[in-house]
Amino acid sequence: MSEQKEISVGDVLQMKKPHPCGSDQWEVLRVGMDFRLKCLGCGRMILLSRGDVMKRMKKVVEKKS
């Protein structure tokens, strides 16, 4: 089974594909079965399932301590 990455509220994720505004970095606002993410380029907020986030995420850019 694949290793699950630990993601918590406040972390900044880099996604594989950029948002239409040009930014590929998202701040995590909520964690659970679904993730609420906020685009750091334009401020748009989206809700994605945990599986979609894990599949689309490239890496964790900034960890909140």
| 10-62 confidence digits (pLDDT tens) | 999 999 999 999 999 999 999 999 999 999 999 999 999 999 999 999 999 98
What is the reported pLDDT for 62?
85
- pTM as predicted: 0.86
What is the reported pLDDT for 63?
84
Residue of 50, 52, 11, 53 lying closest to 34 (CA atoms): 50
- Say whether pLDDT at 5 is over 50: yes
Predicted confidence band of residue 7 (pLDDT cuts 50, 70, 90): very high
